[in-house]
Amino acid sequence: MTDVIPAPVAAAENGPRGFTLGEGTGIAAGEGAGGTERWLRSTLGAATGLPLPPADADRPDTVRLTVDPAVTARLGLEGYRLTVTPTGADLRGGGPAGLFWGAQTLRQLLGPDAFRRAPLPGRTWRLPPVRIEDAPRFAWRGLLLDVARHFMPKEGVLRLLDLLAAHKLNVLHLHLTDDQGWRIEIRRHPRLTGTGSWRARTKFGHRASPLWEHKPHGGHYTRDDIREIVSYAAERHITVVPEIDLPGHSQAAIAAYPELGNTDAVDTAALTVRDDWGISPHVLAPTEAVLRFYEGVLEEVLELFPSRIVHLGGDECPVDEWRASAVARARVAELGLADAEALRSWFTGHFGAWLAARGRTLAGWDEILDGPVPDGAVVSCWRGHAAGADAVRAGHDVVMCPEQHVYLDHRQAPGADEPVPIGYVRTLEDVYRFDPVPPGLTPAETGRVLGTQANVWTEAMEDAGRVDYQVFPRLAAFAEVAWSPLPAPGERDFADFERRMTAHYRRLDALGVAYRPPTGPHPWQRRPGVPGKPFPGPPPTVPPPATRAPAATGPAPLNPADSNDVPTNT
């Protein structure tokens, strides 16, 4: 009945008349409601021009905010109940987070203009008479932003956090380091940003493209920038999970400190920050000195990020350099490892234990399943549902972010108009129909699916407008996947979602989001002549749940040779 996105668990009409906010409307905030009160006053105050002063809970014309143990018991800490009557709005959260998510619903109910930053003349601010009960399907509702391939300055990240909050998403996974850039200030190793945070030129398009942008690209977050981002996120009940990718994807660090690389195999002093896409062969040396260096890095990372989960990558690490390095071979022998490949898990194991000793938990990409996985580690499953099922059955918690479904760098329509088209075609409807839970899991195994995450790798996104285009509107569909219950039995109702998207496009317009219009890109959103790399053949399809065989693993990579190559590393 409402046009709220993500769809609430239950919504019903509550009498004939709603509540109109006006000059006299106040906010009554109980214990634990101060954050949502401040957010409502600043955000709705700006959009409506209303003062929304503090008020007593028993007075009419009031928005009441209460943390309610009865709601906690029924709906959990992130759940909420919203009741609108002619005398006011009563919002009850299971905890402060639930209240905040309820406030997001309240804003949507006020109409698209509630998403502006200053009032338009002649508007009235009416809440429809509703009674809503709501709680998320998954605890981890994330977005990964790759700020290494293209840097997103702090302002853009703060804006993105507001957009995540508006969609009830609660994790921002920041991919802070890669071959093409190091984006976080580390006091004890200043060259990581001094040298590692910029490159002289950048490949324009997929790496097979002949085009270069001959313009320096760079930037990094200072410690205070990170503190601001983390605290802005926390006010919005969003956890920022930092990722320091190792032992591969490390060329920027090696360019800054050549001794981090395999100096007996290559002249690491000649390396620069990588300016092309694709996976660098230059990886960290498996030495004690490198371990100590990264422990120092991580000490500073832990000071800045309170997140229990700290992501250490572990994906796509070629071992050719280790094979060529006498030092690395000696290390393999000394550690009694079977071969150079096992050095990857040796890195993961070392830092998993190091983090655990500090009360933190390692997360890694699903390549960490190739060896012993540190106790309690969280596995980010990007290579398909099968990786998720394997990880869960091996007893690990997982975050499902399979590239076949929720890599938002992939094109969102077939055809030549898509800017720098890469990877699978994943339309709005495809994302909407994605089910994060690998088919065939038992209920107990399903409990190990912490949630889901959409990943945004930015090789082909040179600025915030391109990020907007790739992320929206698909993030709205993803938000519903992550938050709203799966209608049982069977499929989600895409027609109803499209109906609600009519209002949501207007919200995104009010927010100034440069989304892909349903009819295709605006002329200025196209990138004619800039080569991408669409996968060949028909797009993968997922059978509807009712017809899925228990052991089905979702779509296989269309081009296995590329599975380690495209999409993140175009």
Closest distance to ligand ACM from the beta carbon of 568 (Å)? 4
Name the residue nearer to ligand ACM (CB basis): 6 or 314. 314
Name the residue nearer to ligand ACM (CB basis): 251 or 568. 568
Neighbouring CB atoms inside 10 A of 427's CB total: 15
Closest distance to ligand ACM from the beta carbon of 279 (Å)? 8
Closest distance to ligand ACM from the beta carbon of 8 (Å)? 32
- Rounded Cα distance between 512 and 35, Å, is 25
| Reduced 3-state DSSP string for 446-484 | HCCEEEEEEEECCCCCCCHHHHHHHHCCHHHHHHHHHHC
Q: Which of 316, 366, 367, 390 is catalytic?
A: 316
Reduced to 3 states, what is the DSSP secondary structure of residue 137? Answer: coil
Phi, psi angle pair for 182, to nearest 5°: -115, 120
Return the biggest CA–CA distance within the chain: 79
Pair of tokens at residue 185: 């200030």
Contacting positions for ligand ACM (CB under 6 A) = 315-316, 365, 382, 568
Does 217 participate in catalysis according to the annotation?
no
Name the residue nearer to ligand ACM (CB basis): 325 or 345. 345
Closest distance to ligand ACM from the beta carbon of 316 (Å)? 5
- Rounded Cα distance between 539 and 424, Å, is 6
Closest distance to ligand ACM from the beta carbon of 242 (Å)? 15
Name the residue nearer to ligand ACM (CB basis): 348 or 568. 568
Name the residue nearer to ligand ACM (CB basis): 125 or 535. 535
Name the residue nearer to ligand ACM (CB basis): 103 or 176. 176
Could you check whether the bond before residue 153 is cis, i.e. omega within 30 degrees of 0? Answer: no
Residue number with the smallest Cβ distance to ligand ACM: 568
Q: Which of 217, 249, 282, 311 is catalytic?
A: 249
Does 522 participate in catalysis according to the annotation?
no
Task: Report strand pairing: 422-423 vs 533-534.
Answer: parallel
Closest distance to ligand ACM from the beta carbon of 313 (Å)? 8
Q: Which of 68, 178, 367, 480 is catalytic?
A: 178
- The b/e string for 199-235 (b: 16+ C-beta within 10 A; e otherwise) is beebbbbbeebeeeeeeebbbbbeeebbeebbebbee
**H-helix or E-strand spanning residue 363:** strand 361-365
Name the residue nearer to ligand ACM (CB basis): 26 or 384. 384
- Rounded Cα distance between 253 and 258, Å, is 8
Going from the C-alpha of 474 to that of each of 144, 292, 519, the distances in angstroms are 14, 41, 14
Q: Are 220 and 183 in contact (CB under 8 A)?
A: yes
Type of residue found at 358:
R
Closest distance to ligand ACM from the beta carbon of 97 (Å)? 28
Does 375 participate in catalysis according to the annotation?
no
Please give the positions annotated as active site.
178, 249, 316
